[in-house]
Chain A
Amino acid sequence: MTPGIRGIGAAGLAALILLAGGCATYDTRIPQSLAPRVDLAETPFHPQLEYHCGPAALTTMLEASGANPEYNTVAERVYVPDLKGSLQVEMMAGARSFDRIPFRVPGELSAVLAEVEAGHPVLILQNLRVRSFPAWHYAVVVGYDREQGEILMRSGTERVQATSVSKWMRQWDWASRWAIVVLEPGELPAEPAQAAVFRALADFDENARPESRLRAWAAAAEHWPDTALVHMGLGNASYELDQREAAADSFRRALAAQPEHWPARLNLAQVLLELEQPCKGRQVIEAETMGFEHPLVETHGKLSIKLNQACSTPDDH
């Protein structure tokens, strides 16, 4: 062969080595602050049927969180036949439909392993091929071994799949580092980040049972007692349980934390109206001035009228 072609070959080889070397840029060290080895061996396992890694992984996660789902029901909620797979958003929605809360885990190895160390299996998305020609796969991280440099997973048809940290990082990174934990209402991730937790709880709030919502927000209130939103969440859940006094207390706490919080103020006034204390409600709503451009201005207006009417009747208090 001519030296020219040889040169191209050598360049190709060099490029390959460089590409492979790219993996070295991930931080693949398992932090010293974590236990050297964790194996959540009691995590259940559901070997996947063809293309069914989504339902299999989600069933594993749900069972690990104490739920008792039927595999077929899970599949019916998250499997998309003609895509031969499951969408991430439906995996989250599917978890919520079984009265569990999915929380996003930050896209760092240390964050994933911290959850595992705390006893929470972590559901991850992997890309088993390359970015331009992806093969998506869900797996459940159930352990790691610092000395061996391995991550342990429930994956596909393998009950325990041990993968080197560098390969695991590449497969996860090439799937945008998506990871979630699935927890019972009232539990929080090992390293709860406020924005992620509030997002998860607000999404859970839309369809969940009020008892579960109450537990979920109570856990958040313990962690962030000075934010209005947690008390707002508690108040709304109490209201749905017909506990109006408790709801009013929660909305008052929200306002104590953030007096400018209009949703809590309007809700408190509404609950006071229903508790037949319209004049107190009117005081609450008149204590602050709402700007004309505020998105809740119509709610405010309607409620003001009702409070005024109720408060001006003879037997007011």
Chain B
Amino acid sequence: MTGMIFRNALILVLLAAMTFPAHAQLVSTGDALALETGQLETRIEAFLLRDDVAAELSQYGISHEKAMARVANLSAAELEQVAGRIDEMPAAGSGVVVIAGVVFIVLIILEFVGVTDIFKST
């Protein structure tokens, strides 16, 4: 119970600190949606991750300044998704390669294990 009150108090403080400077006095639509889906707390915490994500991004060849500009476009849900695990996320960039090689190796292994023998013996 005390824990709960403490958490709520924390949300209040964070909300007061975070939501209003940009958009005057109104409750934002994003906060309203988060409230409806019971994710207001997660949302507020996610915004606190912004600097961390920028720092992470800047380890991958992006200047700090550009990284800050890029994370400014990420929503709370997106920040939460990538924070601390950029290296685990799919970073798609590939052309088309290697798959033929993998198949070839599998075939060679099968060959050695005796697949061709099966055909010979029948």
Among the listed A87, A156, A198, which residue makes an inter-chain contact with B33, where contact means beta carbons less than 8 Å apart? A198
For the complex, is B42 an interface residue (Cβ under 8 Å from A)?
A: no
B29 touches A296 (CB 8 A): no
Q: With A and B bound together, what is the CA distance between A96 and B70 in angstroms? A: 11
Other contacts beyond A137-B92, A205-B28, A274-B25: 5, CB < 8 A: A12-B115, A83-B87, A135-B98, A293-B8, A295-B35
Q: Nearest Cβ in chain A — how far from B50, in angstroms?
A: 11
Indicate whether A82 sits within 8 Å of B94 (C-beta atoms), given known contacts A9-B113, A232-B29: no
Q: With A and B bound together, what is the CA distance between A15 and B116 in angstroms? A: 16
Q: With A and B bound together, what is the CA distance between A44 and B87 in angstroms? A: 31
Indicate whether A5 sits within 8 Å of B113 (C-beta atoms), given known contacts A83-B60, A135-B98, A229-B33: yes
Binding site secondary structure of chain A: helix
Which of B26, B28, B117 has the most CB atoms of chain A within a 10 A radius of its CB? B26
A53 touches B113 (CB 8 A): no
Contacts of A96 in B (CB 8 A): 73
Q: With A and B bound together, what is the CA distance between A298 and B66 in angstroms? A: 36
Contacts of A82 in B (CB 8 A): 59-61
Q: With A and B bound together, what is the CA distance between A261 and B29 in angstroms? A: 12
Which residues of B (16-72) have their CB < 8 Å from a CB of A? 16, 23-36, 40-41, 57, 59-62, 66, 70, 72
Binding site secondary structure of chain B: helix
For the complex, is B108 an interface residue (Cβ under 8 Å from A)?
A: no
Q: Nearest Cβ in chain B — how far from A308, in angstroms?
A: 16
For the complex, is A222 an interface residue (Cβ under 8 Å from B)?
A: no
For the complex, is A233 an interface residue (Cβ under 8 Å from B)?
A: yes
Residue interface bits B77-99, CB-to-A below 8 A is 1, else 0 = 11001100011011111111111
Among the listed B12, B31, B62, which residue makes an inter-chain contact with A80, where contact means beta carbons less than 8 Å apart? B62
List 16 contacting pairs A-B, 8 Å CB cutoff, sorted by A: A6-B118, A8-B113, A9-B114, A48-B95, A53-B92, A81-B62, A87-B90, A89-B78, A128-B96, A130-B102, A135-B99, A228-B32, A264-B32, A271-B26, A295-B8, A295-B15
Q: With A and B bound together, what is the CA distance between A201 and B25 in angstroms? A: 21
For the complex, is A202 an interface residue (Cβ under 8 Å from B)?
A: yes
Chain A interface residue number, banded: 35 or more
Which residue of chain A is the closest to B25 with respect to CB atoms?
A270
For the complex, is A109 an interface residue (Cβ under 8 Å from B)?
A: no
Indicate whether A93 sits within 8 Å of B26 (C-beta atoms), given known contacts A13-B110, A128-B94: no
Among the listed B16, B75, B114, which residue makes an inter-chain contact with A93, where contact means beta carbons less than 8 Å apart? B75
B98 touches A85 (CB 8 A): no
Q: Nearest Cβ in chain A — how far from B122, in angstroms?
A: 11
Among the listed A77, A136, A217, which residue makes an inter-chain contact with B92, where contact means beta carbons less than 8 Å apart? A136
For the complex, is B121 an interface residue (Cβ under 8 Å from A)?
A: yes
B15 touches A85 (CB 8 A): no
B29 touches A202 (CB 8 A): yes
Q: With A and B bound together, what is the CA distance between A296 and B8 in angstroms? A: 10
For the complex, is A299 an interface residue (Cβ under 8 Å from B)?
A: yes
For the complex, is A134 an interface residue (Cβ under 8 Å from B)?
A: yes
Q: With A and B bound together, what is the CA distance between A199 and B70 in angstroms? A: 20
Which residue of chain A is the closest to B81 with respect to CB atoms?
A89
Contacts of A293 in B (CB 8 A): 8
Q: With A and B bound together, what is the CA distance between A305 and B25 in angstroms? A: 14
For the complex, is A1 an interface residue (Cβ under 8 Å from B)?
A: yes
A84 touches B11 (CB 8 A): no
Indicate whether A134 sits within 8 Å of B90 (C-beta atoms), given known contacts A128-B99, A236-B26: yes
B60 touches A267 (CB 8 A): no
B93 touches A85 (CB 8 A): yes
